Structures are given as structure tokens and as C-alpha cells.
Amino acid sequence: MDTRSKSFERRWFCLFLFMYVFVMIPFPFFFNTDYVAGWLGVPVFIYGWIIHGVVVVALIMLFAHQCLKRPEYQDFEDQDDLAENNGELNHE
């Protein structure tokens, strides 16, 4: 792997590590022992967890999209196509 790919992996590792550490900090919108009513009477920390979960899922989707555009994943598709084409030639 070259330096650019290491920086890509390092950047995403740090981002996901930050999201993990951020959710562990006892902010009142993630952890609250007292009932603090939010919209429609739902506790505020429920909304905090929902928003954090949506952000993490969006980051995972962005990470997957960026990974699939990387050249190391494109090489596997080319090799699979070659293997399928060679297999068809051998069967005929």
C-alpha cells in the first residue's frame, strides 16, 4: 500500500474512533438519569442516540462508497471478469 491509501485508512479510522469516543462521553443528550422531556414527551437522550446512529450509518455508507471507488477494489472486478471469460473458453 502506498502513502495515500494509508492516509485514507488512517483518516477513516480516526473518524470512526472519534464517533465511538464521542458517544461514550456522558453528555446529557446521550445519557441522563433524570427525565428531561423532549418533543412529544420522549426523553432527550433517545433523540441523541437516534441522531448519532443515523450519522454513523451515513458515514458507513460514505466509507463503503469511497472504498469501492478505490483501485484495489477495481482490480478484483477485472480479475473476476478474466476468470469468467477464461472459464467459458475452457468449457467450450
Helix (H) or strand (E) holding 46: helix 44-68
pLDDT at 13 over 80: yes
What cell numbers appear for 13 in the block? 479510522
At 17-62, the pLDDT tens digits run 999 999 998 888 888 888 888 888 888 888 999 999 999 999 999 9
Domain boundaries of the chain, sorted by first residue: 16-91
pTM: 0.69
Q: With b meaning 16 or more CB within 10 Å and e meaning fewer, what string describes 37-75? A: eeeeeeeebeebeeebeeeeeeeeeeeeeeeeeeeeeee
**Which neighbouring-strand residues pair with 37?**
43
